[in-house]
Chains A and B, each alone.
Chain A
Amino acid sequence: MTTISISGLRKSFGPNEVLRGLDLEIPPGEFVGLMGPNGAGKSTLLKILGGIYRADAGELRYGEERVASLAERPEVGFIHQDLGLIDDLDIVANLRLGEPPMRILGPLLDARRERKEAREAIERVGLNIAVETQVGELAPGEKALVAVARLLQRGASVLFIDEATSTLPPQDARRLISSLTATAGKGATVVMVSHKLSEILDATQRVVVILDGKIAADARSADLDRDELARMVVARETRGERPRRTRGPGQEEVLRMRAACAGRAGPVDLAVHRAEVVGLTGLAGSGLHDVAYMAAGAVSCRSGEVTVATGVRRAMVPPNRESQGGFADLSTAANMTLSALSDWRRPGRLLNGRAERRDVVEMVERLDVRPPDPEAEFGTLSGGNKQKVIFGRVLFRRPGLYILCEPTRGVDVATRADLYHLIDELREDGAGILVVTSDFEDLFAVCDRISVVESGRPGEFLSVDETTAEQLEAFI
């Protein structure tokens, strides 16, 4: 059991100082929650520890030994957001990846022993499924557990988890965390990055908050309450109190789905009215996102119909920012204006670059995108800022119907508040909004009516004011 000590760690990318002399000590067997806004330096810290980046200055000690990183040590394991599993291979093959082969004879592999050990490994994290299952067929939570099992099988006793829960629906996230808690209980060190306050408070023993590349707070979790922690993490003023809603939902329907079926969803019957926010939630694999695609017109219905009020434009924030949302090698400006490009078209069909730039600068200010540079490549932005750029694109389209999938996934506490604020504004302006999310907080923060999607169809719609999270979970 070894203590990890970090002192005076510094790291810059070009002119940007990300870590500014960070000191942190992690004793063995501790479950540490690492928090901080997008871009505070959490991921950079983990990437230095994992040997992906090199620190510019500072010292890292593993026990007594001075080291450059903790990579290549079997007892230290990292899980990043994308988990690093291969969907097309089964659980056994994924667990064996990068391990020395188990041989019976010459190049022949001992498949039986591999399977047996794989079975034991996943049972250790509380999974009980056939090890021949393709990883691509697993629920997101199960995938995360397989990733943990892989590390434990290698004998990892120090685990670094980078926002692995941000893409998980609540139940799966809880499953992962209880497995991590159990692992920590057996003496392992766990360092978990998360934006979810309750998760951190419930599971961890100690909370470390990073702001602007330094440790801003370091406390026992038991000594903190939620509001205190929220204040520590937010660090900057959010946009004040959210305004009271001045009006109830309108009568006029902007979206109507009648027995609509596509993908795993359907038959779906639902309506969204003007100045109304309708929320849908459900487990991954319930066809939740297929409902959103249908509503946005991104897939056509197999049967049934989706009608949008005449003259109403619709625009969608897709559930997966990286693979469906943005263009990594294009600029923030090009990403933002794509859906409404003809707005900047001059007679003669040429684009008016100056007007476009002016409007983008305005939007970047409005949404507080960092860096506030229209030319910054989308791929270099942090998660929360990517999300803001995608919101910018949707806003430029000036739709009457918004379909927002996982609007706050992987977004820090302050940005989350900004986005809720924005959704409120859009509702005040009379837009109809369909929020499709696996994050209950979204539902309770912005929605008027909510429903749980199960086996492809939404159940009864409930008024938010009369529903509690517990009731909602009972449906799932």
Chain B
Amino acid sequence: MSANASVADPPAPDRTPAGEGRKGARGAAATAFSSKRFQGSITFLAFIAIFIGYGLWLGEKFANIDARALDIHQNTPVLLLGLAVLVTLIAGQFDLSVASMATLTTYLVIGLKVNQGWPFALVLGVCILIGLIGGLVNGLLVVRCHVNTFIATLGTGGIFAGLASVYGKGGQLAPTGDSHQLPSWFSGTTSLGGFGEKFPAVVLWIGLCAVAVFLFLALRRLRPPGRSEAVWTAVSAAIVAVLAVLALTVLKIQHYVDAVSWTIGILIVVAVLLWTLLDHTTYGRYLRAVGSNAEAARLAGVKPGKETIKAFVLGGLLASFAGILLGANQGSASPEVAAGFLLPAFAAAFLSTVVLSTGRFNVWGTLIGGIFLVWVGQGLVVGGVPFTWTGVVNGFVLVLAVAISTVLRRRGAGR
């Protein structure tokens, strides 16, 4: 045995070393940035590799923009639930009741219209209100009564699912010939819930232009010392222009834009709003601080209880939203309709910590992770594996992706 054993297993980034001070802030930042990006992209690239594999294996059956967009469309409620659990996970809490909340609101959004015949605006208002109240109850139980978060949300989840069952008399709810009908814009083939109805492309193009501008500004700020500003601005503009042309010609981004249904469009809008809230407001910062170290947050002047309750309320709101969209997609409500969404929702949220490499729970990672998960399973279904294997595949992919990324990160950044 020798001390210079070559099995380099570089441990903790005990970033204390004296040499560090000599590097500029920018140099250090850039290093951290690139190494982190690299480790994160491993998971991302692994998924892409799987999809390329699927494409080669299944050809047009898998590599088909419309079909894959339809997957996202159908799984929008799952992705919304992923965002719902994301919010509470950032606060360091587990909300296991979101899927049941979605089931309950699906029953309510269908039933209150079909059976009770309430005006639809009122129905939507009630559903959202129920989501807020459910989240508030969770938050109060966890924060004020100090009930363990698993127990509290398992319990309330049971209650929500049970209420749905009581309200639906244990069976399915759907409009029939002589009942009240759901509004035609809400459910049906040419409606909010239909895949055929596309989100206004103008809005998406404006969004894409905004992304391009943002990219340009970000690039311009990364000007290496020694380059003149005008030259670098031109370089940045050129890079963005080339990327835009590539996106239009090679990726044919216009096809993707055309594939975005109303449901997917709404998902994107919700994600943008949530991302703004979590990453660009004081609330998001407070929430991350509470999730990281509640006692330190308290001593620093943040109110951990208040912020946590808000997180549960927001989670409940998103869950009720998922339930409403589920109702729109399906036009009916059946028992435990969302129960199977809990695992993929948590899977998406946990994948967010590895897909985009940040090591933190984040909105875009949740969406991408959730979508990748759907596609991995769907590819197998298209390839002939019975859909009953979906659960196995989901569990497997989640555990594998998180395990591999965690191991790689420990190796790389070393812990």
Q: Which A residues are closer than 8 A to B by beta carbons?
A: 9, 12-18, 37-41, 43-44, 47, 52-60, 66-69, 211-213, 296, 298, 315-316, 318, 323-330, 334, 337-339, 341-342, 345, 349-351, 353, 361, 364, 368, 370-377, 380-382, 385, 393, 397
**B53 within 8 A of partner (CB):** no
Cα of A316 to Cα of B299 in the assembled complex, Å = 7
Q: Is the CB of A330 within 8 A of B288?
A: yes
Residues of B within 8 A of A296 (CB): 299
The 5 A-B residue pairs with the shortest CB-CB distance, nearest first, are A39-B16, A382-B16, A327-B292, A16-B17, A373-B28
Q: Is the CB of B282 within 8 A of A54?
A: no
Q: Who on chain A is nearest to B35 by CB? A: A14
Q: Which B residues are closer than 8 A to A by beta carbons?
A: 1-5, 7-21, 23-25, 28-29, 31-33, 35, 276, 280-282, 285-286, 288-289, 292-293, 295-302, 359-360, 413-414
Residues of B within 8 A of A339 (CB): 300-301
Q: Give min CB distance, B315 to chain A, whole Å.
A: 21
Q: Is the CB of B282 within 8 A of A372?
A: no
Q: Give min CB distance, A442 to chain B, whole Å.
A: 20
Cα of A17 to Cα of B359 in the assembled complex, Å = 25
Cα of A325 to Cα of B300 in the assembled complex, Å = 8
Q: Is the CB of B29 within 8 A of A338?
A: no
Q: Provided the pairs A13-B414, A14-B13 are in contact, do residues A55 and B19 lie with their beta carbons within 8 angstroms?
A: no
Q: Provided the pairs A16-B20, A43-B14, A380-B12 are in contact, do residues A338 and B297 lie with their beta carbons within 8 angstroms?
A: yes
Q: Is the CB of B16 within 8 A of A372?
A: no
Residues of B within 8 A of A325 (CB): 296, 299
Q: Is the CB of A14 within 8 A of B289?
A: no
Q: Give min CB distance, B290 to chain A, whole Å.
A: 9
Residues of A within 8 A of B360 (CB): 329
Among A41, A323, A350, contact of B293 (Cβ-Cβ < 8 Å): A323
Cα of A315 to Cα of B301 in the assembled complex, Å = 8
Q: Is the CB of B293 within 8 A of A351?
A: no
Q: Is the CB of A9 within 8 A of B3?
A: yes
Q: Give min CB distance, B212 to chain A, whole Å.
A: 20
Residues of A within 8 A of B414 (CB): 13
Q: Is the CB of A375 within 8 A of B29?
A: yes
Q: Who on chain A is nearest to B284 by CB? A: A351
Among A298, A370, A382, contact of B14 (Cβ-Cβ < 8 Å): A382
Q: Is the CB of B29 within 8 A of A373?
A: yes
Q: Is the CB of B15 within 8 A of A54?
A: no
Cα of A41 to Cα of B20 in the assembled complex, Å = 12
Q: Give min CB distance, A15 to chain B, whole Å.
A: 6
Cα of A59 to Cα of B16 in the assembled complex, Å = 23
Residues of A within 8 A of B10 (CB): 12-14, 53
Q: Who on chain B is nearest to A11 by CB? A: B10
Q: Provided the pairs A16-B17, A381-B16 are in contact, do residues A68 and B3 lie with their beta carbons within 8 angstroms?
A: yes
Among B11, B14, B18, B35, contact of A213 (Cβ-Cβ < 8 Å): B18
Cα of A37 to Cα of B21 in the assembled complex, Å = 13
Question: Can you pick out 10 interface pairs between chain A and chain B where the beta carbons lie within 8 Å of each other?
Answer: A18-B16, A54-B5, A66-B1, A68-B5, A323-B296, A338-B289, A371-B28, A373-B25, A375-B33, A376-B15
Q: Is the CB of A373 within 8 A of B32?
A: yes
Residues of A within 8 A of B280 (CB): 350-351, 353
Q: Who on chain A is nearest to B279 by CB? A: A351
Q: Is the CB of B15 within 8 A of A330?
A: no
Among B17, B33, B292, contact of A39 (Cβ-Cβ < 8 Å): B17
Q: Provided the pairs A324-B295, A372-B25, A375-B32 are in contact, do residues A56 and B8 lie with their beta carbons within 8 angstroms?
A: yes
Q: Who on chain A is nearest to B292 by CB? A: A327
Residues of B within 8 A of A338 (CB): 285-286, 289, 297, 300-302
Residues of A within 8 A of B11 (CB): 13, 47, 52-54
Q: Give min CB distance, B258 to chain A, whole Å.
A: 32
Cα of A435 to Cα of B250 in the assembled complex, Å = 65
Residues of B within 8 A of A350 (CB): 276, 280-281
Cα of A55 to Cα of B286 in the assembled complex, Å = 40
Residues of B within 8 A of A213 (CB): 17-18
Cα of A251 to Cα of B414 in the assembled complex, Å = 54
Cα of A337 to Cα of B21 in the assembled complex, Å = 22
Q: Provided the pairs A14-B10, A56-B4 are in contact, do residues A38 and B16 lie with their beta carbons within 8 angstroms?
A: yes
Among A41, A353, A376, contact of B32 (Cβ-Cβ < 8 Å): A376
Residues of A within 8 A of B286 (CB): 338, 341
Residues of B within 8 A of A368 (CB): 21
Residues of B within 8 A of A69 (CB): 3
Among A17, A326, A375, A397, contact of B296 (Cβ-Cβ < 8 Å): A326
Q: Is the CB of B21 within 8 A of A371?
A: yes
Q: Is the CB of A351 within 8 A of B19?
A: no
Q: Is the CB of A382 within 8 A of B25?
A: no
Cα of A323 to Cα of B298 in the assembled complex, Å = 12
Q: Which of A14, A328, A377 has the most CB of B within 10 A?
A: A14
Cα of A289 to Cα of B12 in the assembled complex, Å = 32
Q: Who on chain A is nearest to B3 by CB? A: A60
Q: Provided the pairs A327-B292, A372-B25 are in contact, do residues A16 and B2 lie with their beta carbons within 8 angstroms?
A: no
Q: Is the CB of B13 within 8 A of A380?
A: yes
Cα of A402 to Cα of B413 in the assembled complex, Å = 37
Residues of B within 8 A of A341 (CB): 282, 285-286
Residues of B within 8 A of A17 (CB): 17, 19
Residues of B within 8 A of A342 (CB): 282
Q: Who on chain A is nearest to B10 by CB? A: A13
Residues of B within 8 A of A315 (CB): 301
Q: Give min CB distance, B66 to chain A, whole Å.
A: 36
Q: Give min CB distance, B406 to chain A, whole Å.
A: 14
Q: Give min CB distance, A427 to chain B, whole Å.
A: 23
Q: A68-B3, A327-B288 given. 10 additional CB < 8 A pairs?
A: A13-B414, A14-B31, A39-B18, A54-B8, A211-B18, A325-B296, A325-B299, A341-B285, A368-B21, A380-B15
